[in-house]
Amino acid sequence: PYAVLTKDTLPQTYKRKRSWSRAVFSNLQRKGLEKRFEIQKYVTKPDRKQLAAMLGLTDAQ
């Protein structure tokens, strides 16, 4: 006999805790981000700050 472990039966120590929340973007923000990433795969820190300001986001989002 084997015990079946699911996310509901796992001990609390095994459950993954997320220390951040997932960002939800508006359609305008998403399109702006997608357009920039098509042009520039890796965005530099100054460019990231500028893009975030244009889209009304923080540079960490």
Count of positions (residues) in the chain: 61
Q: How far is CA 16 from the centre of its chain?
A: 16
Q: For 27-61, CATH number? A: 1.10.10.60
Verdict on whether the full-model pTM lies above 0.75: no
pLDDT in tens, 4-59: 766 666 666 555 666 777 888 999 999 999 999 999 999 899 999 999 999 999 88
**Domain range annotation of the chain:** 27-61
d(CA 23, CA 52) in angstroms, rounded, equals 13
Three-state DSSP at 26 gives coil
